[in-house]
């Protein structure tokens, strides 16, 4: 028992009771005595006892004995809950010697060091949200530090240097890239304790752009320096550490939902959402200084400034750039292999670290998240790939294109988004930019074009079969007085998107998607992949057990035609015939309370096996697209049978007789 590490007052009666209790248990050599002898007393407040442990193993062993401990301890020290976090439990030293007084933190680095970890609802001792929120709160009071550092940068630059102000359109982080624990923290200055961008990161951006575009490579080495083996040359132009111009630290979240796992010696993609809160900079504005290290090179500062500015505008800054982070306002792309699409998204809302819950009265923080588009494209990539390749090839190709925690992928997805013009539902519009990232070891030009065509086809497919973000499996509608689903439209000039109610056009789309995959990774086989059960949900796959139906719905109402969502959002013409069928039959709808069928419509924590998308083509009647994964299951197959009774037409899987030459799609005027 760590009596010597106590940090409470010697007159703390709860601490005395605890020490006497453990001493007696140790004397009797009881199991509780042996396990809790490793604990350090933290505090006792509102019938909650906190005990600290040095490592996860000791904490885990203690958590397994909490109930026996409470029963044995309660006659002396009543405890509703016993917390077992990892740490020393010791607070930062107080200069006034008052052990019960909280130390005021002056910057986010101090807050991170001195704030205790919290507990989530499951008693997880690694709930970091309170620590991160404390850092954000501390940083919000650091405006004077930012002002002084801006002045300091201007003084260091002097008359021979130059400054550059750069704004970012969403979020940015410069820090660890090896895993989610490293993603918790941006780079914080060790002296000032606030976020900063190291000069080395900025220099790397400028060098990368100059090495690719500047005609005189000797000049690049001269101005930015070099180190090649034993040959070193100091830089003639120095780029200073950069700081934001005002507080911008924010809590964000990364929530991977599908995970590759090895089960029975086979790779499977399992559904298991894991939110990881992290700190980053929200819409920061950076103030950057450049100066010559040798006076005669003062006239070259502007040249290096141009390299840096162009590098930031084209390639971004920091980690997760391929997912939309670190992109500057007014960014441009000079990459050859680039394609853009216009989009419109009607949504119940996108949420980061503060989603709507019962505790906050379902009022979360809404923001458009480019990562949602990347995530849905990754989902549909797996859906197609699992029908064409074995699982090992699928995983390898996925990481090649989209990357992983230690590897940058070939594809970058970013957005330019207008502020929402509506609320409840929210309406976003803008552009989606698809790019093939240029690496030092670049693939051949023809291969780059194949990568781009693959992700283009994925985007078209994804926008025709479902939505993006919350409610992606359902059309936008009202249910139990709350907004559900979403409506996502993707298009570009000179192309008739979305597709019309036309079987040949749809089968042509599926063929184009498969051809794009096979151009990157040839395949002559077909595979099946079980989407699992509600208790062990696995990745959906567009294989021979999947059904895709088109159901004409002439009275379907566009979201922009709904005048009052509170009164019209749950009407049959807003939901559409397919969703009305799903909701109207307990064999198919998702579980709500004790009614429904999780094996078809899903339930809380189990994604539905059925996707429904409302389509409003430029020509012809509106209709709904219904995708049923794992339709070899009799209960899901019954839903397809009901759709057929309503005269829905099947467009997937294709029968041999379906493989007829398709008519060319009309061009959009």
Q: What is the pTM of this model?
A: 0.80
Q: What is the pLDDT of residues 127-173, one digit of tens each?
A: 677 888 889 999 999 999 999 999 999 999 999 999 999 999 899 98
Query: pLDDT grade, residue 195 (50/70/90)?
Result: very high
Q: What value, to the nearest 5°, has the Cα angle with vertex 86 and ends 81 and 92?
A: 100
Q: Kindly tell me the sign of the dihedral angle through the C-alpha atoms of 326, 355, 473, 561.
A: negative
Q: What is the pLDDT of residues 553-564, one digit of tens each?
A: 999 999 999 999
Residues 222 and 307 placed together within one structural domain of the fold: yes
CB 42 within 8 A of CB 51: yes
CB 209 within 8 A of CB 315: yes
Among 54, 81, 103, the domain boundary falls at 103
Q: How far apart are CA 630 and CA 545, in angstroms?
A: 5
Q: What is the pLDDT of residues 289-299, one digit of tens each?
A: 999 999 999 99
Decide if 26 is inside a domain: yes
- Residue of 629, 463, 457 whose CA lies nearest to 540: 629
- Cα distances (Å, whole numbers) of residue 277 to 18, 147, 605, 657: 34, 29, 19, 51
Q: How far apart are CA 556 and CA 574, in angstroms?
A: 6
Residues 356 and 496 placed together within one structural domain of the fold: yes
Q: What is the pLDDT of residues 36-71, one digit of tens each?
A: 887 888 788 878 888 888 778 888 888 889 989 988
Residues 407 and 486 placed together within one structural domain of the fold: yes
Residues 356 and 314 placed together within one structural domain of the fold: no
If you average pLDDT over every residue of the chain, what do you get? Answer: 86
Exposed, middle or buried by CB within 10 Å (0-12, 13-18, 19+), for 2? middle
Alpha helix positions (H), 476-562: 503-520
DSSP 352-390: SSS---TTTTT---B---HHHHHHHHHHHHHHHHHHHS-
Q: 3-state DSSP call for residue 63?
A: helix
HSE-up (13 A, CA, CB side) for residue 269 = 23
Residues 286 and 406 placed together within one structural domain of the fold: no
For residue 459, give its domain range.
338-658
Among 73, 103, 133, the domain boundary falls at 103
pLDDT of residue 96: 38
Decide if 55 is inside a domain: yes
| Residue 152 CB contacts under 8 Å (≥ 6 apart), including other chains | none
Q: In the sheet that 171-172 helps form, which strands lie side by side, from edge to edge?
A: 171-172, 276-282, 249-254
CB 418 within 8 A of CB 402: no
Residues 315 and 344 placed together within one structural domain of the fold: no
Q: How far apart are CA 497 and CA 501, in angstroms?
A: 12
Residues 48 and 167 placed together within one structural domain of the fold: no
Decide if 553 is inside a domain: yes
Structure tokens at 165: 């102000």
Count of domains for the chain: 3
- Residue of 309, 306, 252, 303 whose CA lies nearest to 286: 309
Q: Kindly tell me the sign of the dihedral angle through the C-alpha atoms of 71, 76, 80, 84.
A: negative
Query: pLDDT grade, residue 658 (50/70/90)?
Result: low
- Residue of 604, 623, 483 whose CA lies nearest to 552: 623
pLDDT of residue 404: 80
β strands within 530-628, DSSP E: 532-533, 536-537, 547-552, 610-615, 623-628
């Amino acid at each position: 028992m760590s009596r010597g590490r106590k940090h409470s007052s010697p007159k703390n009666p709860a601490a005395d009771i605890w020490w006497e209790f453990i001493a007696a248990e140790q004397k009797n050599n009881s199991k509780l005595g042996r396990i809790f002898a490793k604990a350090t007393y933290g505090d006792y407040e509102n019938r909650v006892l906190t005990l600290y442990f040095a490592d996860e193993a000791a904490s885990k062993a203690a958590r397994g004995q909490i109930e026996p401990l409470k029963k044995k301890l309660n006659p002396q020290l009543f405890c509703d809950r016993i917390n077992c976090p990892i740490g020393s439990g010791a607070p930062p030293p107080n200069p006034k010697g008052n052990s019960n007084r909280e130390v005021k933190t002056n910057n986010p680095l101090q807050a991170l060091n001195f704030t205790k970890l919290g507990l989530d609802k499951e008693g997880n001792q690694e709930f970091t949200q309170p620590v991160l929120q404390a850092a954000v709160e501390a940083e919000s009071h650091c405006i004077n530090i930012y002002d002084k550092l801006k002045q300091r940068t201007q003084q260091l630059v002097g008359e021979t240097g130059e400054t550059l102000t750069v704004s970012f359109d969403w979020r940015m982080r410069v820090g660890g890239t090896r895993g989610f624990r490293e993603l918790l923290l941006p780079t914080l200055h060790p002296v000032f304790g606030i976020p900063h961008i190291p000069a080395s990161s900025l220099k790397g951006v400028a060098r990368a752009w100059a090495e690719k575009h500047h005609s005189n490579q000797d000049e690049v080495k001269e101005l930015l320096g070099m180190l090649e083996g034993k040959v070193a040359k100091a830089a003639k132009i120095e780029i200073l550490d950069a700081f934001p111009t005002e507080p911008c630290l924010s809590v964000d979240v990364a929530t991977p939902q599908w995970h590759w796992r090895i089960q029975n010696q086979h790779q499977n993609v399992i559904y298991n959402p894991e939110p990881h809160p992290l700190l980053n900079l929200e819409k920061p504005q950076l103030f950057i200084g450049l100066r010559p290290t040798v006076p005669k090179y003062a006239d070259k500062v502007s040249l290096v400034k141009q390299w840096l500015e162009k590098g930031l505008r084209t390639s971004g800054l920091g980690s997760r750039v391929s997912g939309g982070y670190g992109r500057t306002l007014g960014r441009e792309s000079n990459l050859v292999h680039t394609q853009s699409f216009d989009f419109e998204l009607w949504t119940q809302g996108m949420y980061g670290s503060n989603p709507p819950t019962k505790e906050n009265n379902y009022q979360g923080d809404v923001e458009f998240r480019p990562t949602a588009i990347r995530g849905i494209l990754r989902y549909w990539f797996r859906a197609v790939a699992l029908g064409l390749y074995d699982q090992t090839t699928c995983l390898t190709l996925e990481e090649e294109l989209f990357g992983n925690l230690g590897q940058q992928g070939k594809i970058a997805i970013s957005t330019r988004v207008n502020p929402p013009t509506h609320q409840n539902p929210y309406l976003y519009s803008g552009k989606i930019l698809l790019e093939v990232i240029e690496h030092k070891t670049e693939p051949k030009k023809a291969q780059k074009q194949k990568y781009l065509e693959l992700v283009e086809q994925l985007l078209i497919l994804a926008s025709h079969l479902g939505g993006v973000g919350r409610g992606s499996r359902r059309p936008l509608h009202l249910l139990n007085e709350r907004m559900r689903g979403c409506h996502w439209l993707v298009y570009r000039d000179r192309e008739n998107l979305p597709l019309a109610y036309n079987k040949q056009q749809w089968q042509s789309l599926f063929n184009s998607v498969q051809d794009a995959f096979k151009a990157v990774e040839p395949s002559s086989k077909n595979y099946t992949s079980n989407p699992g059960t509600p208790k062990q949900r696995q990745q959906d796959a567009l294989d021979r057990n999947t059904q895709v139906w088109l159901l004409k719905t002439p009275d379907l109402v566009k979201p922009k035609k709904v005048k009052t969502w509170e009164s019209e959002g749950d009407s049959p013409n807003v939901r559409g015939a397919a969703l009305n069928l799903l909701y109207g039959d307990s064999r198919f709808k998702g579980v709500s309370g004790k009614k429904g069928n999780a094996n078809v419509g899903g339930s809380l924590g189990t994604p539905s096996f059925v996707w429904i998308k409302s389509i409003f083509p430029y020509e012809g009647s509106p209709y709904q697209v219904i995708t049923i994964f794992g339709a070899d299951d009799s209960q899901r197959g019954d839903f397809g049978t009901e759709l057929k009774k309503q005269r829905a037409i099947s467009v997937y899987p294709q029968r041999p007789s379906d493989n007829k030459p398709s008519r060319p799609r009309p061009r959009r005027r």
